[in-house]
Amino acid sequence: AQKITQTQPGMFVQEKEAVTLDCTYDTSDQSYGLFWYKQPSSGEMIFLIYQGSYDEQNATEGRYSLNFQKARKSANLVISASQLGDSAMYFCAMREYSQGGSEKLVFGKGTKLTVNP
């Protein structure tokens, strides 16, 4: 079963508008972390925002905010005032621990965001 589900393969938004990218997760752990990364066409994964499972407030980083609904196991990314440079793939990821104790990130399939002028 998928641990990270991103149901939107592609999204379109008009420049200067806000957009929400969906992410749901599946875990039985009480302590976990959720990340959003942006991957432009150049390939590099760029960290955007982090939400810890015990954080009471939704994370915010500039134009990025994370709508964390723990009971629904969702961690949607909200981008306000979209810019043309926001066009990229966006990945939701969850931290989990392997049997060896190493931390690893489990990624969703991603959402391709296109910002139209």
Residues that bind other proteins (CB under 8 A): 4, 31, 33, 35, 37, 42-47, 50, 52, 91, 93, 95, 97-98, 100-110
| CB of 28 or CB of 98, closer to other proteins | 98
Question: Kind of pairing, strands 19-21 and 74-79?
Answer: antiparallel
| CB of 46 or CB of 81, closer to other proteins | 46
- At closest approach, how far in Å is the CB of 27 from other proteins? 15
**CB atoms < 10 A from the CB of 48, how many?**
19
- At closest approach, how far in Å is the CB of 41 from other proteins? 11
| CB of 42 or CB of 117, closer to other proteins | 42
CA neighbor of 87 nearest in space, from 24, 11, 18, 25: 11
Task: Write out the two tokens for 7.
Answer: 């149901």
- At closest approach, how far in Å is the CB of 79 from other proteins? 19
